[in-house]
């Protein structure tokens, strides 16, 4: 089963409409998908909540994951970890748990900034968990930093070497 995870970063618009599409938060106002994940503190979207509820009903989205019904305890027990720092990490973990054979990421960019500085390693971790289980992971978008070094260069091959190792 192919899972298509759609974040709100660059290139989310390229995500297909068919298939098992999972999206986040208020992105539901811009496009349909099969499952909606809103894993923020209750009331975070007060200004948009009525629009989201109307859109969700119109699209007949039956699966909405919130902090109240995401199967966190089940996943923590299964994976033996509670390393979740953002919605994308929760989504990838659930895709693995449900038996995904491939995971496509659109708009999950994690461009290094204050918020993403602590979220990116967790998304990288869950992508590695998926790949280690034989699940194909494809990241769409030139600006995504998922599974890339901060510079996009390979250490030791394409970076300038430190000449004074340990010298003050």
pTM: 0.85
Q: Which helix (H) or strand (E) holds 33?
A: none
What is residue 51's predicted lDDT score, i.e. its pLDDT? Answer: 66
Q: Give φ, ψ of 71 to 5 degrees.
A: -80, 55
Q: Give φ, ψ of 121 to 5 degrees.
A: -60, -35
Is the CATH number 3.90.1480.10 carried by domain 2-140? yes
Which has the closest alpha carbon to 84: 131, 14, 37? 37
What six digits make up the tokens of 136? 């194909």
For the chain, 168 residues long, give each residue's pLDDT as a single digit of tens.
999 999 999 999 999 999 999 999 888 888 888 999 988 776 665 666 676 667 667 666 768 888 888 999 999 999 999 999 999 999 999 999 999 999 999 999 887 666 677 899 999 999 999 999 999 999 998 888 899 887 777 777 765 555 555 544
Q: Could you tell me the residue ranges of all domains in the chain?
A: 2-140
User: Starting at the edge strand that comes first in sequence, how are the strands of the sheet with 2-6 ordered?
Assistant: 63-65, 35-37, 20-24, 2-6, 102-106, 136-140
Based on DSSP, count helices (H) and strands (E) in the chain, helices before strands: 4, 6
């Amino acid at each position: 089963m192919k899972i298509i995870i759609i974040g709100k970063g660059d290139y989310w618009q390229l995500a297909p409409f068919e298939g098992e599409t999972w999206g986040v938060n208020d992105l539901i106002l811009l496009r349909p998908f099969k499952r909606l994940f809103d894993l923020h503190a209750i009331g975070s979207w007060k200004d948009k909540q009525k629009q989201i509820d109307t859109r969700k009903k119109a699209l007949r989205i039956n699966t909405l994951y919130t902090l109240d019904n995401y199967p966190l305890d089940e996943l923590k027990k299964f994976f033996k970890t509670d390393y979740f720092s953002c919605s994308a990490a929760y989504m990838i973990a659930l895709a693995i748990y449900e038996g995904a054979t491939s995971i496509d990421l659109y708009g999950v960019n994690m461009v290094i900034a204050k918020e993403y500085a602590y979220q990116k390693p967790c998304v990288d971790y869950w992508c590695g968990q998926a790949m280690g289980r034989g699940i194909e992971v494809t990241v769409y978008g030139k600006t995504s930093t998922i599974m890339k070094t901060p510079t996009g260069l390979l250490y030791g091959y394409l970076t300038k070497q430190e000449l004074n190792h340990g010298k003050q």
